Chain A
């Protein structure tokens, strides 16, 4: 019983993430956007627009 509950919980959690990623492409930039945040820390000057940088890296 306990094992089944754990397996189901892990499956639902993983499935939820992957499902949102697959079903809602518009969420993808939102999901990945914060990963640029640390690059702004302690920079002597603001980096270029992170979205532009992201598009560039995807290219």
Chain B
């Protein structure tokens, strides 16, 4: 007996098993992807949760999250819909069942699952939306080739005049993605720095514009008329929209790197194309929504159509948002912030996933053998809408706050602290989204089984198409117009390739050859290995290596990145998000010990940091770094080295900033100070008459947030990071420091130690710290020496100590200039008697101060201890 499928005309013979299996694969993937997103979000406010497991490292999860969403969820959902739609669009079956199962096996067995396994085990490439490594790229290309054979070939055998707009989008989406994927995934592997970034940028946008958008719009154009029982408003407008989209989308790519060293003409071209694209999307969405005029009741009643409707509205919003944020005044404010993350979630969930869900639900309820539970679908809609709205609004607001803070001169960490409440809301939204996707699974796996389609199905599509052609006699050549349209399509792709890829590359080559120093030292093998570790852990997902040509970036991070600086980086790691600060010039800013302690557990040195720790790079302790940890630190030390060697960047005040002027301003206001190294202003708390206590209270808060990791909660030099630092952090209760000395150390750090500069703190914070540290200092008064004692001590001091500490204790002896940390200047630092005696007896670990225990008599040590303490009496 013939089955219902066999009774159906060939045009509508779908392959229900492939629809189901791709649907099930999509559901499994979206649950995993949503779970990964939730875990990552929680770890932004609870960074130690699940820490210590390498394959759950934040950066690796981010790789798995984005690629899983792209290939695992959206890829499988689109393929399921294509098995439903292409036989209807082409009026003939897809190429083959065997090809379908082979495609399913390649897509999931060679692409998604191995891709996830590899990136989570540390084999990846640091390119956004292209994180799966090269071998998986091969499987992806093979899968796309098979998809073209499966779905494009039947469409090519149909008449052009009968091709509905969904078919055009399927044709365009599958073929152009096949072209764009290798360009974005393979070329930047071999083309370094800015040159590679031009092609990376192309793919970042092509992934959305040439894969997600066309296939989502194919679904929207198919589901809206099919459910509303009314044709689309205008096929003419839809075709204008289609061709404009394929002209403009590939030209958007460079807007991800606005204010970079990519030639400005290419950047501006991308901005113009982005604005045009927004106008095109208005046209497309208008056409789609006009198709539903007067059908509000149908939209409300039909869950798949409701998903599509929300997706279309999200498409309008996200596209206009994209156009706006590509414009330079907006871009300089929101780029690198959570605004962009909100934008990408609105695009990938609000637009891509909602429409994919609408298509999947619609295909599912019409496919024999599938289960469809309408009630759960309704729950899924509301949960996903609620979660998405909450997440996008939250991230957009977070981005605005971050952008505002980055424009000022507050420390970077203030933007991290300010983001914490937003990240909590993000996690709650992510939980609601996960619940929504669970409801999707319930909707598609429970409920009644879809009955076989009625046997009397007929389609007269071919006959009607003939009618249409007869009406335009003389235009029969159009049925062979594939040559023309294919040529136009390839032309558009080549156009973007040339305009935003090849042409800027030629300019960049000339620019790099003209500007790069001739004798740049190559990276050592260790630095190169460190780069690999940095790449595999996804550090660039939170730390950019691109100082943009904006005032805010230059003031905070130094001169803008030149094209030649990343000329040895293939693939480039510029990044598009900053949770942490830019690292393009990180070399020399922190000591190696600090970097190692930070890698082991960032909160040991920066208590409010949200960066994950990397303990698997160590051998069980922060004092025993493994080779990989040392390699990473070597790599970090190399960042910006070339710029320093060529004088492009380095220490010293930025032009036009006078520290003394800043100090005077700081006495009377709480203004922030630009990051300027060099001569330090002195935060003289004695001038703040009557306000010492207030400043000290503030200083205590700042100390707990920034200093306690090394110096300990009470300043005794016993913070959690202290064990890994040499010399050990100073016990601040064992000496009284002058305001000058404290200001100098806070402003410039302490060379030869792990104490970094804190000159990005505000004036008020620095004054507060100086005031607070004054309260920690011992109250022990300076000693009084008799004439005889002083005479004996002077002799001893001149013989044993003056060579380093100078003849009068100012830390300026003949050897001082080659010692780091510098010998103590006893005019600025008055140790306690106990500390001075201990230092003399045992030496100071990590400094040039030797132990004098066996060389001086105990009485002599005690006398010297009193003598050096007496220097500060002369002030």
Contact = CB atoms under 8 A, between A and B. Distances in A.
Bind each other: yes
Nearest to A9: B247
B268 A38 contact: no
A42 B453 contact: yes
A30 B456 contact: no
Nearest to B166: A38
A44 B454 CA distance: 7
Given A1-B265, A10-B276, A14-B240, A35 B468 contact: no
A3 B161 contact: no
A30 B221 CA distance: 18
Contacts of B792: none
Nearest to A42: B366
Contacts of B472: 26-27, 29-30
Contact of B460 (A17, A27, A46): A46
Contact of B269 (A3, A17, A26, A37): A3
B873 interface: no
A53 to B, nearest CB: 9
Given A21-B236, A33-B235, A35-B232, A41 B88 contact: yes
Contact of A32 (B226, B234, B244, B248): B234
A14 B244 contact: yes
A31 interface: yes
Given A31-B239, A42-B366, A6 B456 contact: no
A17 B239 CA distance: 9
Interface string A16-34: 0100010000111111111
- Which among B166, B235, B460, B475 has the greatest number of chain A C-beta atoms within 10 A? B235
B457 A44 contact: yes
A10 B280 CA distance: 10
B161 A30 contact: yes
A5 B12 CA distance: 44
Given A34-B163, A35-B235, A41 B468 contact: no
Contact of B231 (A2, A35, A49): A35
B682 to A, nearest CB: 53
A40 B460 contact: yes
A21 to B, nearest CB: 6
Nearest to B471: A29
B272 interface: yes
A46 B222 CA distance: 18
- A contacts with B: majority SS: helix
Contacts of A1: 265
B809 to A, nearest CB: 66
A17 to B, nearest CB: 5
Contacts of B266: 2
B228 to A, nearest CB: 10
A26 B236 contact: no
A55 B746 CA distance: 82
Contacts of A21: 236
A52 to B, nearest CB: 10
Contacts of A9: 247, 495
Contacts of A10: 244, 247-248, 276
A27 B481 CA distance: 14
Given A13-B247, A30-B472, A42 B226 contact: yes
Nearest to B238: A35
B243 interface: yes
B235 A6 contact: no
Contact of B222 (A13, A29, A33, A38): A38
A33 B225 contact: no
B815 interface: no
B226 A38 contact: yes
Interface in B147-172: 161-166
B471 A26 contact: yes
B162 A33 contact: yes
Interface in B237-291: 238-240, 243-244, 247-248, 251, 265-266, 268-269, 272-273, 276
Contacts of B251: 6
Interface string B461-482: 1001101110110110010000
B499 interface: yes
Given A9-B495, A38-B164, A44-B456, A30 B234 contact: no
Contact of A40 (B163, B243, B276, B461): B461
A43 B456 CA distance: 9
A17 B163 CA distance: 17
Nearest to B85: A41
Contacts of B485: none
B459 interface: yes
Interface in B206-226: 221-222, 225-226
Nearest to B269: A2
A13 B454 contact: no
A44 B366 CA distance: 12
A49 B225 contact: no
Contacts of B161: 30, 33-34
Contacts of B458: 45-46
Given A30-B472, A31-B239, A33-B162, A39 B231 contact: yes
B657 interface: no
Contacts of B265: 1-3
A35 B471 contact: no
B477 to A, nearest CB: 12
Contacts of B495: 9
B453 A37 contact: no
B694 interface: no
B235 A32 contact: yes
Contact of B225 (A5, A32, A39): A39
A31 B164 contact: no
A9 to B, nearest CB: 6
A34 B456 contact: no
Contacts of A27: 472, 475
B229 interface: yes
Nearest to A41: B88
B597 to A, nearest CB: 48
B235 A34 contact: yes
A44 B229 CA distance: 13
A2 B478 CA distance: 33
B276 A41 contact: no
Given A21-B236, A40-B460, A6 B276 contact: yes
Nearest to A17: B240
A39 B226 CA distance: 6
A48 B266 CA distance: 52
A45 to B, nearest CB: 7
A51 B458 CA distance: 18
Nearest to B229: A39
A41 to B, nearest CB: 5
A41 B475 contact: no
Contacts of A45: 456, 458
A56 to B, nearest CB: 12
A55 to B, nearest CB: 11
Contacts of B12: 41-42
Interface in B479-521: 495, 499, 503
Please list the 3 inter-chain residue pairs (A to B) with the smallest Cβ-Cβ separation, ordered nearest first. A2-B269, A33-B468, A35-B235
Interface of A: 1-3, 5-7, 9-10, 13-14, 17, 21, 26-46, 49-51
14 contacts: A2-B499, A3-B272, A7-B272, A17-B239, A26-B474, A26-B475, A33-B162, A34-B163, A35-B231, A37-B461, A38-B166, A40-B460, A42-B366, A44-B454
Interface of B: 12, 88-89, 161-166, 221-222, 225-226, 229-232, 234-236, 238-240, 243-244, 247-248, 251, 265-266, 268-269, 272-273, 276, 366, 453-454, 456-461, 464-465, 467-469, 471-472, 474-475, 478, 495, 499, 503
Given A6-B499, A35-B234, A35-B238, 18 more contacts: A1-B265, A2-B266, A2-B499, A6-B276, A10-B247, A10-B248, A14-B240, A26-B471, A26-B474, A29-B471, A30-B472, A33-B161, A34-B163, A34-B164, A40-B459, A43-B459, A46-B458, A50-B467
